[in-house]
Amino acid sequence: MSEGFNRALLLGNLGADPELRFTQGGQGVLNFRIACTERYFHDQQWKERTEWVNVVVWGKRGEALAKILTRGSSVFIEGRLQTSSYDDREGVKRYKTEVVAENVVLTGSRPSGDTQRSAAPAQEQGQTYQGPSSDIPF
């Protein structure tokens, strides 16, 4: 039996501000959704299709990115797919698939008019968040 390969590469824009939460043990968990839009030519016209992808970033890196990312931020994500299950309020088992980010690259500037996070550096373009093996936050 061969070994598997689980890798996701995504380029998209955040659909909303990210949500930072903490586990009972105090570990940061950053969640956000990105819109990945592709254009294609069909029936003599250009069309677009958008796929919404859930992304999670764990630990100090997630905490650092929470200070930088905002709705509309353009990001390149490298990570792995992970599916988990939970029971909803009616006891029905639900499944969710998300990308656990190992690398996050900010590919564009912050949306104009963003005054909420002015403490973040103005020169964000090209900053990289390295995966779990690095102690550098981005």
**The pLDDT value given to residue 110:** 54
Q: What does the angle CA 95 – CA 106 – CA 112 come to, to the nearest 5 degrees? A: 105
**The pLDDT value given to residue 106:** 94
Domain ranges for the chain, please list them. Answer: 8-129
pLDDT tens for the chain, 138 residues: list them: 688 999 999 999 999 999 999 999 999 999 999 999 999 999 999 999 999 999 999 999 999 999 999 999 999 999 999 999 999 999 999 999 999 999 999 998 555 555 444 333 333 444 444 444 444 343
**The pLDDT value given to residue 51:** 96
**The pLDDT value given to residue 18:** 98
Cα 137 from Cα 64, distance rounded (Å): 6
Q: What does the angle CA 26 – CA 29 – CA 32 come to, to the nearest 5 degrees? A: 160
- CB-based contact 55:76 (threshold 8 Å): no
**The pLDDT value given to residue 109:** 58
Cite the beta strand spans of 43-135 per DSSP E: 45-58, 74-87, 93-106, 128-129
- CB-based contact 126:106 (threshold 8 Å): yes
**The pLDDT value given to residue 13:** 96
What is the tens place of the pLDDT at every residue in 59-90?
999 999 999 999 999 999 999 999 999 999 99
**The pLDDT value given to residue 26:** 95
Domain 8-129 has CATH 2.40.50.140: yes
